Structure 1
Amino acid sequence: MSKPNYTGIYNMVSQNNFEEYLAALDVNYALRKVVCILKPSKHIEHDVNSGEMKIKTVTTFKNFDMDFTLGQEFTEDLGPVDGRKCQTTVNWDGDKLVCVQRGEKEGRGWTHWLEGNILHLEMRAQGVTAKQVFKKAE
């Protein structure tokens, strides 16, 4: 079975439990409030043959770029959320992209999956789970 191609621009349509997730990451109150009102878009370039991916999260506050190759550990700059860095690996679990982040927060990571033109993002840290849902732009 071939893996899905995540390439596209996706606009956020909903989020759940995001402020609690940011609190679990020790993001200060004022920054949490700002980040929670943003409506980010995800700009994803995915080369299914090489496994190279570029995910750019775009907001009116700050943008966040993540370039990586599936299965290869890299140092991720967590910039717009908490200014920290961690060791990150993104790999396939079936047709889902699963990220494991090793750093100062236990159980930190995320999972992306597609259902038609809907992109799901589940984020985890310290036993707290948040979810964002994005719709692919036409």
Structure 2
Amino acid sequence: MPVNYSGTWDIVDNHNFEGYMVALGIDFATRKIAGMLKPQKIFEQDGDSFTIKTLTTFRNYSSSFKIGEEFEEITKGLDNRKCQTTVNWDNDRLVCIQKGEKKNRGWTHWMEGDTLYLELTCEDQICKQTYKRSA
């Protein structure tokens, strides 16, 4: 049985978020606001069905999916693009591939103890985020 991601996670480190947002084509003003935010992630997991919510004081984003099933995702509140998205297990990692307008787009989540890691990719940019389980 794969790892259980359920819980609430608070960001503690956010490396190269600016470069990632530039690669997505996000405008300057939105990048400046987003760069100051401290997102919280809430994972709801029921076997291979997930809802991941990213909450901030500026915008919230929610994505629901089932492992291995492609779905149409509109990244509303992020870069507002339509993607064909698939999330799969790679051992205990959640690996997402988003096919669409931007090349090499997706993300990977994995846990080590009470630390959640997230790598976001778009074109030639990689953003690395670290979260701690909320108390």
TM-score (norm 2): 0.97
SS in 1 for 2:2: coil
Shift of 1:137: 1.1
Residue aligning to 1:81: 78
Runs (4+) off by over 2 Å: none
How many residues of Structure 1 are paired with residues of Structure 2 in the alignment?
135
Residue aligning to 1:17: 16
Match of 2:129 among 128, 132, 137: 132
SS in 2 for 1:24: helix
Unaligned 5+ runs, structure 1: none
Shift of 1:47: 1.1
Alignment of 1:114-133 (within 5 A): 114-133=111-130
Query: Are 1:97 and 2:86 matched, yes or no?
Result: no
SS in 2 for 1:79: coil
Residue aligning to 2:60: 63
Deviations 1:53-72 (A, max 9, x none): 00000000111010000100
SS in 2 for 1:14: strand
Deviations 1:4-37 (A, max 9, x none): 0000000001100000000011111111111111
AA of the residue aligned to 1:133: T
Shift of 1:3: 0.9
Identity %: 47
Moved more, 28-37 or 105-114: 28-37
SS in 1 for 2:78: helix
- After superposition, the CA RMSD in angstroms is 0.7
CA distance in 2, matches of 1:74, 1:35: 26
AA of the residue aligned to 1:131: K
Shift of 1:127: 1.3
Query: Are 1:3 and 2:2 matched, yes or no?
Result: yes
TM-score (norm 1): 0.95
